[in-house]
Amino acid sequence: MVKVWMVFEALGVEEEAVEQSLEDHIETIRSEKGVELLEVEKDDVEKMDNPREDIEEGYTQVIEVVAEFERFEKVVRTVINYGPTYVQVEDPDIYDLKLGEAQNVLQNIATTMHQYAQMGAGGVLISRKSED
């Protein structure tokens, strides 16, 4: 098992939409097989002036989650799919990552990167020159 602390943030122009979107987000994570939410701490929705240049007035909310995952692979998949702002592995101090699980983690990342490239760059990724 892998215990992870995550922070999720939402920003929007409607107070109810911000609160509901984070609640839905957390409930979707809660329904994931291999994930157990141990703690969920929700801050109040706060009003903000000029949260971005194009938004005169908005609302924000933060939710902190402590979750336990059956495998590290599931942690990576959850981070990719749900996009927490912050992530911290709390336990265990040492994790035995087998080759198959490492391969699956890397393939999940590669697949996601390919999907992003297809959406925004026509399916082609440009390699950066390596720094020696």
Kindly write down the DSSP assignment for every residue of 68-127, as one continuous string: EESSHHHHHHHHHHH--SEEEEEE-SS----HHHHHHHHHHHHHHHHHHHHHHSTT-PPP
Task: State mean pLDDT over 6-18.
Answer: 91
> Domains of the chain: which residue ranges?
2-96
What the block records as the tokens of 92 is 């265990």
Tell me the pLDDT tens digit for each residue of 59-105.
999 999 999 999 999 999 999 889 999 999 999 999 888 999 999 99
Residues contacting 48, CB < 8 A, separation 6+:
11, 57, 58, 59, 60
Distance CA 51, CA 89 (A): 30
| DSSP state for residue 43 in the 8-state scheme | P
Task: State mean pLDDT over 18-31.
Answer: 93
Q: What is the pTM of this model?
A: 0.79
Tell me the pLDDT tens digit for each residue of 107-124.
988 888 887 777 765 555
pLDDT for the residue numbered 111: 87
**CATH architecture label of 2-96:** 2-Layer Sandwich (3.30)
Residue 78 backbone dihedrals phi, psi, to 5 degrees? -65, -45
Asked if residues 29 and 23 have their Cβ atoms less than 8 Å apart, the reply is no
Distance CA 43, CA 11 (A): 13
Pick from 4-8, 24-28, 54-58, 84-88: least confident: 54-58
Distance CA 61, CA 45 (A): 5
